Amino acid sequence: MNPVIKIDGLSFGYEFGDSVLKDIYLEISPGEMVALVGQNGAGKTTLVKHLIGLLRPPAGKVRVADLDVANTRVSKLSRQVGYVFQNPDHQIFHDTVQAEVAFGLNNLGLPREEVEPRVTAALSDVGLEHLANENPQRLSRGQRQRVALASVLALRTPVIVLDEPTTGQDYQERKQIMALVEQLNKAGHTIVFITHDMSLVAHYASRVVVLCQGQIILDGDTREVFRQTDKLAESLLLPPQVTVLANQLNEPLNTSVSPVILSVDEMQEYLQRVREVKRNGAGD
Amino acid sequence: MARVIEYIYRDSIIHQLNPLSKLAWALGVMVLALTFNDPYYLLALLISVGLVGLTGRVMKDLSGVMKGLSIFALILVLLQVVFYHGAYREAVTLGIAMGLRMMTVVLSFLVFLSTTQYKDIILVLTEKMKLPYDYVFMFMTSLRFVPTFLNEAIQVGYAQQVRGCPIDSGNPWRKMKAYIAVALPLVLISLKKAERLAIAMETRGYGSNNRTYYKEPIISTLDYFVIFLVVVLIIGAIILRCKGLGVLH
């Protein structure tokens, strides 16, 4: 399948200062769920801004949904790529939640009959349908974050980029947001999300891209990436504790064949299997 | 643009001067620039301001702004040529004088602001000039938030563009309407910021008593010399002007 995102040797530096991205090559196929991780200042946000033309790549370097980002307007790209920002207050300005979510749809020129059901659907997706007529300024920060999320989801773009979508959310809300993102991914949307939360990565991402000082140092299947603890440590990243524990237990064994454990459930299953093997062995 | 009026730390004699003498200098330059309209006099003044900037080692940081200003100055010259009723030569000279004057005044204040910390300016204005602290603080804080505000404006623009808001539209009417979506969040953010700032200040005892200051502003011999020099130059300029020098008729 043709990649929906294709970055071909992208480098970038802001006007004053060092280069932020160095020679990035990245291809993402439709339907992937990619976690973009790395320390603050590694270039994560800078990279994804190139996907929707907020930062202009040189011609031919970044293609999204067969559009060359270099010469496509942001408002046109916004039909292909949804982008959820870190700070919801940068976008919220309507006096009802409903109107805020409808803003993007109106910009796309959709008829009213289509806008209303989409708004309702997006709000119920993020669990805010009961606040549809509330003033967003009265909501909590976490709720405003979800208003912002809904306003982008309503656009139903094939690609969705989320820059730290779970900041300021409690455990329950975090799970809700990520479950929603997962659901969108299953429905065929390509997802790229930035996060610092490795347990989210382990749980939801099928692929992990690690940025370190503007370069991709790891890129692959989540399990494969979490196996490489040394390389991750370069970026001061630590896989979830259960993964680290499993890696350490595996060390004396043959690591290359033993699985990478991503969750407590997997660990439990794995230990049970080991016990059974042992028991069977002892019975001989 | 966001970096234009930020303090830039460098180790230079200009940075060490008392804010008062730098302020006197910038005001002096303004008076001089308004006194003369002979392009040669103004050019000399601009060069002298540039030299001060070089001594302060901030000219490189200001070069971007200077480029923008010179384009603006060029437009001023063109406007004069098009709209001035009189000889072509006269129009050009007048235009050049206006452009140089504008550049000189702006550059002198940029040098002042980029070599002086806001808190030091507040300090001398309240301690030495005996202006009420609340007003000085208010004024200086609003200045300090200009770069933040500009940066915020860019972010808000981004956030609306990705929802299809046509602020990159070619149609000026649509563009103008689209900017409402940028202006409103900006106002809301600023109000919130102001509120937070007020709370943060109050919780740290703002306005509870007479203030003391961590740093005592020092007026050194060099500062007295600079202020003396500025006064002498201004008097000199006025005398020259009265004798009809440096003025075109």
Q: Give the model's pLDDT for residue A258.
A: 66
The residue to which tokens 């102001």 are assigned: B194
CA A164 to chain centre: 7
Give the minimum alpha-carbon distance from A76 to chain B in angstroms, rounded to a whole number.
7
The mean pLDDT of A165-175, rounded to a whole number, is: 84
Q: List chain B residues with CB under 8 Å of A107.
A: 163-166
Q: Is the pLDDT of residue A254 over 80?
A: no
pLDDT for position A282: 61
Asked if A82 is an interface residue toward chain B (Cβ–Cβ < 8 A), one would say yes
Q: Answer whether B175's CB lies under 8 Å from B169's CB.
A: yes
- The pair of three-digit structure tokens given for residue B208, joined into one six-digit string: 């509870």
CB-count exposure of residue A39 (10 Å: 0-12, 13-18, 19+):
middle
- Tell me how close the Cα of B58 comes to any Cα of chain A, in angstroms: 14
For residue A108, the chain B residue with the least C-alpha distance is B164
Question: Cα B148 to the chain's mean position, in Å?
Answer: 16
Per-residue pLDDT at A58 = 87
| pLDDT given for residue B2 in this prediction | 41
Which of A16, A49, A73 is closest, CB to CB, to B168? A73
Phi, psi at A143, each rounded to 5°: -70, -40
Q: Supply the DSSP string of A195-241, one letter for each residue.
A: -S-HHHHHHH-SEEEEEETTEEEEEEEHHHHHH-HHHHHHTT----H
| Angle, vertex CA B5, rays to CA B124 and CA B161, nearest 5 | 140
Chain A residue numbers with beta carbons less than 8 Å from the beta carbon of B162 are 52, 54, 74, 78, 81-83, 85, 152
Q: State the pairing for strand pair A67-68/A62-64.
A: antiparallel
DSSP label of A69: G
Task: Enter the DSSP assignment of B89.
Answer: H
The answer to whether A208 touches A219, Cβ cutoff 8 Å, is yes
DSSP A284: -
User: Using alpha carbons only, how large is chain B's radius of gyration in Å?
Assistant: 22
Which of B:29-48 have CB within 8 Å of A? none
Q: From CA A163, how far away is CA A181, in angstroms rounded?
A: 13
Identify each DSSP E strand in chain B by its residue range: none
Q: What is the pTM of this model?
A: 0.75
- Predicted confidence (pLDDT) per residue in A19-39, tens digit: 889 999 999 999 999 999 999
Assigned fold of A5-236? Rossmann fold (3.40.50)
Long-range contacts of B31-36 (CB under 8 A, 24+ apart): B31/B234, B31/B237, B32/B233, B32/B234, B32/B237, B33/B101, B33/B104, B33/B105, B34/B101, B35/B237, B35/B238, B35/B240, B35/B241, B35/B246, B36/B237, B36/B241, B36/B246, B36/B247
For A99-154, give the DSSP string. Answer: HHHHHHHHHTT--HHHHHHHHHHHHHHTT-GGGTTS-GGGS-HHHHHHHHHHHHHT
Tens place of pLDDT for every residue, chain B, 249 residues?
A: 445 567 888 889 899 899 999 999 999 999 999 998 899 999 999 999 999 999 999 888 888 888 888 998 899 888 888 888 778 888 888 889 999 999 999 999 999 989 998 888 888 888 888 888 888 888 888 877 888 888 899 999 999 989 988 887 778 888 888 888 999 999 999 999 999 999 999 899 888 877 787 777 778 899 999 999 999 999 999 999 888 887 776
Q: Are A188 and A31 in contact (CB under 8 A)?
A: yes
The strand pairing partners of A26, in sequence order, are A7
What pLDDT does A274 receive? 79
In angstroms, the CA B113 to CA B119 distance is 11
On whether the CB atoms of residues A239 and A247 are closer than 8 A, the answer is: yes
Can you tell me the mean pLDDT for A122-150?
Answer: 91
The distance of Cα B73 from the centroid of its chain, to the nearest Å, equals: 16
CB atoms A89 and B158 under 8 Å: no
**A188-231: per-residue pLDDT in tens?**
999 999 999 998 999 999 999 999 999 999 999 998 899 888 88
Closest-approach residue (CA) in chain B for A88: B159
Name the more confident of B238 and A167.
B238
CB atoms within 10 A of CB B202: 11
Domain layout of chain A by residue ranges: 5-236, 240-283
Nearest to A104 among B152, B155, B163 (CB): B163
Residue found under tokens 């692929």: A207
pLDDT digits (tens, 9 = 90+) for A219-240: 999 988 998 888 888 888 888 8
